[in-house]
Amino acid sequence: MIARLELLSKDHPLEGFWKCYHRIRNNGTVVNHKRLHRIYKEMKLPLRRKVKKRLPARVKEPLQVPYCFTQTWSIDFMTDALSNGTKFRSFNVIDDYNREVLFVETDYSLKSSRVIWVLKHLMNRYGKPQKIRMDNGPEFVAKLMQQWSKANDIEFKYIQPGKPMQNAYIERFNKSYRESVLDAYLFDSIEDVREITADWIDDYNNQRPHDALGGLSPKMYREKNNNMNGLRYASATPSLHCDHSSLKIKTNKSTFESY
């Protein structure tokens, strides 16, 4: 029985005890299932059962336009592929006040530490937001992200699972970004993605009319309200990229200045 179980576990590593038991019985060997199960456990063959991680209860909240710039941000990930099939991701950050694109980072892999790196530099440039809205992706619910939000006193507003309309501002931006950039070009390298994205964001923020803003571009809308309120904010910039070996900022065109 030990030899038979060893062979079955090698040939069918994802099958559990009952599959092994019936395979042995179907081959003509009569064996008591209790006896076989004792041998199975002594050989430490039982499969580890993967338990789905349970999320805390998410409360549905209506979308509200913030009363000023840098009050609430929305963040999300997108996925696409280069012409050779290599997949890449983009991390998108917008301000809910005027839908201005604060940042789009593109790379082959974007982990929680990279998300924090981006948010930290955006805070240095624009100031600290009160809230950041996001879905329940693994990069966003990671322990590292939770610790960072508490340390910086920023409220993370998680939408309910399977309810992307609760993060409608950035979902609408994602649609425009996909139609105008990701689906409109064939990219040979990640540098091509970054260059075309930077040019498109510059137009999106400064020239492209936005229906929800009365036909104004995001920057025009912000400057108009700033003049009315006597306020001035820093303007958004296209992109920045991270050199992981030294964590220095690489600038593309006019990006983040030195802090």
**pLDDT at position 237:** 46
pLDDT at 205 over 90: yes
Closest by CA position to 122, among listed 252, 253, 249: 249
**pLDDT at position 134:** 92
Amino acid in the structure at residue 126:
Y
DSSP 159: P
**pLDDT at position 225:** 85
Q: How far is residue 105's CA from residue 197's CA, in Å, rounded to a whole number?
A: 9
Closest by CA position to 166, among listed 196, 136, 146: 136
Q: What is the pLDDT of residues 24-57, one digit of tens each?
A: 989 888 999 999 999 988 888 877 666 666 666 6
Higher pLDDT among residues 257 and 169, named by residue: 169
Secondary structure of 35-76 in the HEC alphabet?
HHHHHHHHCCCCCCCCCCCCCCCCCCCCCCCCCCCCCEEEEE
Could you tell me the end-to-end alpha-carbon distance of the chain, in angstroms, rounded to an integer?
69
HSE-CB at 18 with a 13 A cutoff on CA atoms is: 0
**pLDDT at position 142:** 86
**pLDDT at position 70:** 92
Closest by CA position to 190, among listed 121, 119, 109: 109
Binning pLDDT at 50, 70 and 90, where does residue 188 land? very high
Judge contact between 136 and 165, C-beta under 8 A: no
pLDDT at 16 over 90: no
pLDDT at 153 over 80: yes
